[in-house]
Structure 1
Amino acid sequence: MNTPNQWTKKELVAYILLFISNSDLQQSVEETNYIRSRVDKKTYTNVYKQFNKDNDYQCIQNIIKVVKTHNYYENDYAELFADIKLMIYADGESNEMEEATLSFIRKILKE
């Protein structure tokens, strides 16, 4: 996979959704299916491989780097946050860790 400053918008979305869905240390089948519905199979596979190599600190740094490098959301993250919310509830329930991670992502993206 390319370096973070070369990621596409879809790669960024997949990476963030993986980060959120794994914040509670388990990714449900429903969450996986939701992420796969947002990106093509090749993108998911490539991003998943990268995500599995990275620790939490590296994930956060990658997300910050991509957001600072690209202007995919033009400082309006409503679309991204809507995707995240849908993924959080994909398995029918919200999880405190996922909600806390969403709040954290919101904070770092808006800085």
Structure 2
Amino acid sequence: MKNELKHWSKEELKIYILLMCAKADSIESIEEIDLIKSKIDTGSFERIYKEFCCDDEDHCLEKIQFAIAKHEYSNRELESIKKEIHEVFLSDKNFNMKERNLDRLLDSMLY
């Protein structure tokens, strides 16, 4: 059963986005997960990760788009999120086609 759309905090949304980036190539590497965990608190990570694991890609994107629309982000916040997205993509030393496609999609959502 799919999780319903939730009202996440900005921090929770960031965790969810970064998890999606880690899984973009169908493999969540240890480097990617460790990097995400280093940027946030563990309690939030475990809760959001549990929810993330129950969602398919389309539902993930729908949830992200819904949550982005609920928050007002400054240019600085958007740049920070984009920087962290790229850090996750590059943490396993591989930036493949699936990751590039997700990067473009998230970039258009965060614009």
Above 0.5 in TM-score? yes
Runs of 4+ in structure 1 deviating by more than 3 angstroms, as ranges, are none
How many residues in Structure 1 have an aligned counterpart in Structure 2? 108
Instruction: State the AA in 1 paired with 2:110.
Output: L
Change (3 A) 1:49 1:18: same
Residues 40-78 of structure 1 deviation map (CA, whole Å, 9 limit, x = unaligned): 11111001011011111111111111111111x235511
2: CA distance, partners of 1:92 / 1:24: 12
Change (3 A) 1:63 1:75: farther
Aligned pairs for 1:1-111 (under 5 A) are: 3-5=5-7, 7-71=8-72, 73-74=73-74, 77-110=78-111
Question: What value does the CA root-mean-square deviation take over the aligned residues?
Answer: 1.8
Residues 54-110 of structure 1 deviation map (CA, whole Å, 9 limit, x = unaligned): 111111111111111111x23551110000011111122322211210111111232
Q: Equivalent residue of 1:78, what SS?
A: helix
Structure 1, unaligned runs of 5 or more:
none
80-89 vs 94-103, which deviates more?
Answer: 94-103
TM-score calculated relative to the size of structure 1: 0.88
